[in-house]
Copies of this chain bind each other. A is one copy, B any other.
């Protein structure tokens, strides 16, 4: 039941803690490989699972994509996905108490809110492209 400290585990944890946004297993792999080149995807999955069980990170899943993971240390927050560039951003505001929305007899322990729309880099879906800066993130 030990928990050893390995280079790959540290790298994976560090990448997720530092991300500031939810990362997919593939993104975690790529980022952590900068530190530990030989890192394998299987190890990412195993550690992500372990970190989830340990409560250090939490899973976020948005329609369409595979699940992403982020630090559980981030204070309560929500997500915003741009419908154009598909990037996911953290939203630190919260509508507040939502316990009253559930049906009678139901107990609300927590909630997850996702906003969809255009991020500041992907303005109005208006007219065809052509002008302006097209800021995309890989």
* Chain A interface residues toward B at CB < 8 A: 59-64, 67, 78, 80, 83, 89, 91, 93-95, 98, 100-120, 124
Q: Is B83's CB under 8 angstroms from A102's CB? A: no
- Could you list some 24 contacts between A and B, CB below 8 A? A61-B61, A61-B62, A61-B64, A63-B112, A78-B101, A80-B103, A91-B103, A93-B101, A94-B101, A95-B95, A95-B98, A101-B113, A101-B115, A102-B115, A102-B117, A104-B120, A106-B115, A106-B119, A107-B118, A107-B124, A109-B116, A111-B115, A111-B116, A112-B116
Contact A103 B118 (CB under 8 A): no
Question: Which residues of chain B have C-beta atoms less than 8 A from A124's C-beta?
Answer: 107
Complex alpha-carbon distance, A47 and B117, angstroms: 27
Which residues of B are found within 8 Å of A98, using beta-carbon distances? 95, 113, 115
With both chains docked as a complex, state the minimum distance between the C-beta of A85 and any C-beta of chain B, in angstroms. Answer: 12
- A117–B104 CA distance with the chains assembled, in angstroms: 12
Query: Across the two chains, which residue of chain B brings its CB closest to A110?
Result: B116
- Measured in the bound complex, the distance between the Cα atoms of B115 and A46 in whole Å is 28
Contacts of A107 in B (CB 8 A): 117-118, 124
